[in-house]
Copies of this chain bind each other. A is one copy, B any other.
Amino acid sequence: MQLKDMTRQELSAFLDEEIKKYNEFKSRGLTLNMARGKPCDEQLRLSYGMLDCLTGEDSLNDLDGTDTRNYGGLDGIKSAKKLFADIFDVSENEVIVFGNSSLNIMYDTLVKAMLFGTGNGAKPWKDCGKIKWLCPVPGYDRHFLITEKLGFEMINVPCDENGPDMDIVERLVAEDSSIKGIWCVPMYSNPTGITYSDEVVKRMAAMKTAADDFRIFWDNAYCIHHLSDNHDTLLNLLEEAKKCGNEDRVYMFASTSKVTFAGGGIAAMSASEKNIEYIKSLITVQTIGYDKINQLRHVRFFKDFDGLTEHMKKHAELLAPRFNAVCDALDSEIKPLGIGKWVRPNGGYFVSFDAMEGCAKKIVQLCKEAGVELTGAGATFPYGKDPKDSNIRIAPSFPPIEELRLAAEVFCIAVKIASAQKLLEA
């Protein structure tokens, strides 16, 4: 029976029962965490072989003779460019390999647009007056924090299981030249877990933009992070954009932060050759080069894209049961009651839960008081403001699976309590 079909009396009885269960959990003094999209201990151990795979006995030269121990090589070593070219499915000339953080590349790329423009004679954005930015929601809080700090006006764009609502996106970018870009996590999106449909990607590539220097920040953080062999596929935005002559609007990003070590990985960007040349001309002001030894370490450890794919299957084996623990609990406890929506993702790091309107903060609070930490409600929206107070991001990767089952149980009870209370208030 769905909660909304219950009488007030039935609801009250239901609520009492759930509060009783809740208090039982509360009294156990739990400290569980589903807040952070962090790899778990077993995942991190998968890359231990990388720690000491380079020794003084080995040649530390890359394929083309580049000495990774010394200065030189601004845009990444050849073999690392090849690896990321395979990840992005582009050519090596369309890749730059940087340091440890793709988020830092995105920040840097925006900062460069602000101070120096996007190339081809375009004005620096700092001289363009008000800048606006499209933010598919719910989305990644770290993206929104960057554009907020830069003073951009962020505009929410609703999403469904195919990605952002392209009718809205197309209309906005066509009519307003102060809209300079959009954040996208196109595969196993943070937090919704969905992958953009072919139609969405094609429309992104083809759409007319009032701003000549419009940019799509395509954060493909989870492009190889499948949970099973039966995984989603994503069209190659750069290729699609080339077909429309719009390749310069595309910046794609990826990293090994959730492949090897979070913080100890390598990150890369892919873009048109023209964009790559321009960005290199700016990076050369900024640094002499990135950590080539860590790039070599990664390449020697994985050997090639096939090696990387095999490695990711081991991650999937560890992650799939965790996602199942959360989604199974939601399926059995929440689905019959009709008090929430979510998608069981085929990859990525999150389950996105849409509670009844006005319930998210309450649920997070109830969980917290019972010792279960979640990402703050609202965090998945620009300025931390979820207009419906509905979305909660669940991160199942980090806790041991027994803890996760417990945390999911507490979460479901919190959802039930908040929903019943909401319905009783009405």
A residues with CB within 8 A of B:
36, 38-39, 44-45, 48-49, 51-52, 54-56, 68-73, 99-101, 103-104, 107-108, 111, 114-116, 126, 142, 145-146, 149-150, 257, 261-264, 282, 285-294
- Contact, CB under 8 Å: B292 / A264: yes
- Per a CB cutoff under 8 Å, which of B149, B263, B286 touches A293? B263
Cα–Cα, bound, A287→B101 (Å): 7
B-chain residues with CB within 8 Å of residue A149 when the two chains form the complex:
116, 282, 285
- Between-chain CB contacts (< 8 Å), 14 pairs: A44-B69, A51-B54, A69-B261, A70-B261, A72-B263, A99-B99, A101-B288, A142-B288, A149-B282, A149-B285, A261-B293, A264-B291, A264-B293, A291-B294
- In the complex where A48-B55, A55-B48, A146-B285 touch, is A291 in contact with B100 (Cβ < 8 A)? yes
Q: Which residues of B are found within 8 Å of A72, using beta-carbon distances?
A: 38, 263
* Distance A103 CA – B289 CA, assembled complex (angstroms): 10
Q: A70-B38, A285-B146, A287-B107 are in contact. Are A100 and B99 (CB under 8 A)?
A: yes
Interchain CB contact under 8 A, A115 and B111: yes
Q: Which 8 A-B pairs have the closest CB atoms?
A: A48-B56, A52-B52, A264-B293, A104-B287, A44-B69, A71-B262, A100-B291, A107-B286
How far in angstroms is the closest Cβ of chain B from A136? 20
- A351: min CB distance to chain B, Å: 19
Report Cα–Cα, A285/B264, bound state, in Å: 19
Per assembly, the copies of the chain total 2
A51 and B56 within 8 A (CB)? yes
A287 to B257, CA, bound (A): 12
In the complex, A149→B282 CA distance in Å?
Answer: 9
The answer to whether B290 touches A100, judged by C-beta atoms less than 8 angstroms apart, is yes
Question: B residues within 8 A CB of A111?
Answer: 111, 115
Of A45, A52, A103, the most chain B CB neighbours within 10 A belong to: A52
User: Are B285 and A263 in touch, CB under 8 angstroms?
Assistant: no
Min distance, Cβ A317 to any Cβ of chain B, angstroms = 19
Q: How far is the CB of A94 from chain B (nearest CB, A)?
A: 23
The answer to whether B44 and A49 touch across the interface, beta carbons within 8 angstroms, is: no
By a CB distance below 8 angstroms, the chain B residues around A108 are 286
* Chain B residues, CB < 8 A from A282: 149
A76 CA to B18 CA in the complex, in Å? 44
Which of chain B's residues have a CB closer than 8 A to the CB of A70? 38-39, 44, 261-263
Question: Please, which residues of chain B bring their CB within 8 A of the CB of A292?
Answer: 263-264
Q: Which residue of B lies closest to A53 (CB)?
A: B52
Known: A103-B287, A263-B290, A294-B294. 10 other contacts (CB 8 A): A38-B71, A39-B70, A52-B56, A99-B291, A101-B287, A114-B115, A115-B150, A146-B286, A262-B288, A264-B294
